[in-house]
Amino acid sequence: MDSQAHALTTRAVHAGKDDLTDAGLHAVPLDLSTTYPSRDVAAEAARLDAFAAGYDDGGPPVYARAANTTVRRFEHALAELEGAEACVAFASGMAALSAVLLARVAAGLGHVVAVRPLYGTTDHLLTSGLLGNGVTFATAAEAASAVTAATGLVVVETPANPTLSEVDIRALAAACAPVPLLVDNTFATPALQRPLDHGAAISVHSATKYLGGHGDVMGGAVACSEEFARALRQVRFVTGGVLDPRAAHQLHRGLATLPVRMRAQSDGAARLARRLAAHPAVRRVHYPGLDAQARPAGQMSGGGAMVSFEVAGDAAALIGAVRLITPAVSLGSVDSLIQHPASISHHIMGPASRAEAGISPDLVRLSVGLEDAEDLWADLSAALDASLK
């Protein structure tokens, strides 16, 4: 049966594992080889040429920088969940994004149109010029007008980090066509949103976050067409930003519980968002679906597990006062994390760029975990009260 006929929870458990039963295995094997022996030198040379050109026939790898069997399983699984032809995994989310930019620069299409806000380091990478790209920032409505003959990519993050604003993927992709649209899908994950179903060409993840889900593994991934995957594999082959097989093994395991975790964490986030909106120390709450503003129809199946809010008191005092919630950068773990974007995740952008992206100095970002919502609220409300003193 076509796996896409199964429910998402079923696909998440079984993706990338279809051959295990016939192989006499239950758990996904961990391949730690850095090199793969072969007595056929001619065949080895031909396969190495294919890897260097971005092709991967699924056969025995030659060297771990070219391919790894455990990494392949994770890639196949995530591609299935994203509804993509292919997926290419990297050592981190930024390595994944860098590979996309390098591939477009190499194709002579190094101009990027970007819709703010984005993750702070993404914003910094686009403006730094380190990879030879140029960038024009625009609103979603202005993006098509910013496209030039040299534009190779339109970049958006929806829901956005850290304001959780949403962009209509289908409308943006259609307006900017034929330029490919890249969507950073880290916050939503394929459990809540599949950008390629709405016209995007590329879906990028910091797999470190929800895909891993436990704050103990780092990785990145790009879901896309097989044609673009070949370009990405070429970049990965020569730059070496490969995903460690141990990390791939953990990420693949994380996918099995992703829909269940996202459902539970989203429920907790929605409950906290409503409580925050009524607290006197909170001036504004950012959470998809909380207010009456129109949202892209049929794009995201839930509000997600991130909540951002602007405080009336001292944001630093709030962060320092929590006891159950962990004050730390990053997100997507089973335990709740809270941080101040202007000081950490988006600090590298600078005040002017943060203001342009709508990131106020009073904004706090909360990644809601799997703890009981009442316990989280008790900790959060006490910290909010302390922030007003």
Structural domain spans, the chain: 3-255, 258-387
Sign of the Cα torsion 351, 97, 10, 249 reads negative
User: Which CATH code of 1.25.40.80, 3.30.870.10, 3.40.640.10, 3.40.50.720 fits the domain covering 3-255?
Assistant: 3.40.640.10
The answer to whether the CB of 162 falls within 8 A of the CB of 349 is no
184 is catalytic: yes
- Annotated active-site residue in 31, 184, 244, 379: 184
The answer to whether the CB of 318 falls within 8 A of the CB of 384 is yes
The answer to whether the CB of 276 falls within 8 A of the CB of 292 is no
Q: What is the spatial distance between Cα 224 and Cα 198, in angstroms, rounded to a whole number?
A: 13
- Annotated active-site residue in 55, 63, 65, 283: 65
119 is catalytic: yes
pLDDT, position 2: 61
- Annotated active-site residue in 119, 194, 210, 275: 119
17 is catalytic: no
Question: SS3 for 262-331, per residue?
Answer: HHHHHHHHHHHHHHHHCCCCEEEEECCCCCCCCCCCCCCCCCCCEEEEEECCCHHHHHHHCCCCEECCCC
Topology (CATH) of 258-387 = Aspartate Aminotransferase, domain 1 (3.90.1150)
- Annotated active-site residue in 11, 116, 194, 209: 209
**How deeply is 6 buried, as exposed, middle or buried, from its count of CB atoms within 10 A (0-12, 13-18, 19+)?**
middle
Angle between helices 120-128 and 93-106 (to 10 degrees): 30
The answer to whether the CB of 348 falls within 8 A of the CB of 378 is no
375 is catalytic: no
- Phi, psi (rounded to 5 degrees) for 42: -65, -45
Query: Each residue's pLDDT tens digit in the chain (389 positions)?
Result: 466 789 999 999 999 999 999 999 999 999 999 999 999 999 999 999 999 999 998 998 999 999 999 999 999 999 999 999 999 999 999 999 999 999 999 999 999 999 999 999 999 999 999 999 999 999 999 999 999 999 999 999 999 999 999 999 999 999 999 999 999 999 999 999 999 999 999 999 999 999 999 999 999 999 999 999 999 999 999 999 999 999 999 999 999 999 999 999 999 999 999 999 999 999 999 999 997 677 999 999 999 999 999 999 899 999 999 999 999 999 999 999 999 999 988 988 889 989 888 889 999 999 999 999 999 999 999 999 988 87
Confidence (pTM): 0.96
User: Both tokens of residue 206?
Assistant: 């910091």
Helical H runs in the chain? 8-14, 41-52, 69-82, 93-106, 120-128, 143-146, 169-176, 189-192, 226-239, 245-277, 315-321, 351-356, 373-387
Write down the residue that tokens 């959060």 correspond to: 380
**How deeply is 383 buried, as exposed, middle or buried, from its count of CB atoms within 10 A (0-12, 13-18, 19+)?**
buried
